[in-house]
Structure 1
Amino acid sequence: MTTAAINAAPSRTERRNFQRVRVKIYGRYMLEDRSEYPCQVIDMSPGDVAFRADNFGQLGEKVIAYLDHIGRIEGVVTRRLDGGFAMTIIASERKRDKLAAQLTWLANKHELDLPEDRRHERVSPRNPMTVLALEDGRSYQCRIIDLSLSGAAVELDVKPALGLPVTLGTMRGRVVRHFEDGVAIEFAALQREDTLVKEFSGTIG
C-alpha cells in the first residue's frame, strides 16, 4: 500500500463517524490478480463498505469495485464476513463528499430496496418470447414475465450469476435477482417507451 493511499484512507476514528447506509447495490470487483467477481453491497459509508460475495481477497489486499449508481471505488480488505468481506474505501475528501451525497440520495429514495426495481410500472408484453445473450456468446430462449422502462423479469432455464452483464433482445443490462423460474434484469440505461414497444410489442403504462 503506497504512502499516498495510506494518507487517503480514513482513520478508524474517521470511519466510525461516517453514516453507514443499508442499500442493495450490485456490481463487480477486481482483486490484485485481476480476477473479477460479482458482488452486492450490504451496507456502505463514505469510509468503508461491506460486500456479499463468494470470493474474498487477503486481508490488506487492494480491491477495485464498479458499483451500480455509485461508479468506481477502490480500497483495501479489512475483514472477512459470513458470505462476504468488508473494505476501507481509499478516496480523497472530495470523493468522499460525493459518496456521502450519493448514499444519502439512495437512502432517501429507497429505490434499491424494492424487489427487482418497482420504480416504473411493469406490464406483460404482447410478444414475450425473446433471447437472452451472455458476453461469452451463449444465448438462451426465454419468456418475458413482465417488463418496464428500467428492467424485466424473465422465465429462463439457467441462472446467470448476479451482476453478470446480459443482453435481452437488444437491451443491455445485468442480472440483479434470481427467483424460482428465472431472473430479474436491470437495464444498463432507462429505456424509451417507444423503443420497448418496438422491441417487444408491449405497452408500458
Structure 2
Amino acid sequence: MTELSPQASIVVHGITTVSGRYSLGARPAHAGLNLFACRLRMIATTSLGVAAPIIPQLGDMVTARFAAFGALQGPVTRRLEDGFEMALLMSSARTLEHNERINNFTETLWTETTNRRSSERLLPKNPRTIICRGQDEWPQPCLVIDYSGRGAAVSAPFQPAIGELVTIGQLEGAVVRLFDIGFAVQFTEHYSTRDAQLALEAPKDWRHAMRRAFPSL
C-alpha cells in the first residue's frame, strides 16, 4: 500500500449502505434523548456527512460511530435537509489510520443493526421521514434504519412503550421491540417491499417545508 501522510486528503461520496449511530454532547448516551441511528453519506479525511433523524445546531459536538471507521468526534459544520456534516478532530496518527481505513473501504452492507431478522430487510433510499405517536398527531422526524413489508426499525427523538401505536410516513403499526438506538414497529398490514418503501417516505408537503427551511441546498 502506498504510504499516506497525515495531511493527505481523501473523500468518498455517494455512500448508501453504511449505518451507524451518533450521540450529542458529553452526557451519557440514551436512545431517543441524545443517541440516534444515522446513515453515512460521505466520509473524508477531515469531515463526514450523514442522514439523521435529529439535526444538531452548528457547533454542537457529535460523536459518530461506524463499524468501518470506528468512533469519530467533532463539531457540526453544516446542517442539511436530511442530516448534517461534521468536522473530524483527531491527532496526526489517528488521521493516518483514518485515511488508511478510507483507502481500504469497500462499501458492503455495514450496519449497526445486528439483529436483521430476515434477508428481506432493506435499507430505504431516503431514510429520513416523519413519525406520529398515537396520543398526538403532530409529526416528528425519524430515521428508518431498515424495513420489510411487515415492519421497520426506527430511530426517533423518543423511546416509546411496547405496544404503542405509531405512524411512520403513511404506515401504521405497533412497537414490538426496543433496542439501544431505536425500536422496531410491526405494520398493521403486510405490504410489498416496493409499496412499503413508497409509503414510508415523508409526505411531499413536509419535504417542501424542509427545503424552504434549508434554501441553500
The structure whose Rg is larger is 1
Q: Could you say which structure has the greater relative contact order, defined with CA pairs below 8 angstroms and 6 or more residues apart?
A: 2
TM-score by length of 2: 0.47
TM-score by length of 1: 0.49
| Greater share of residues in helix | 1
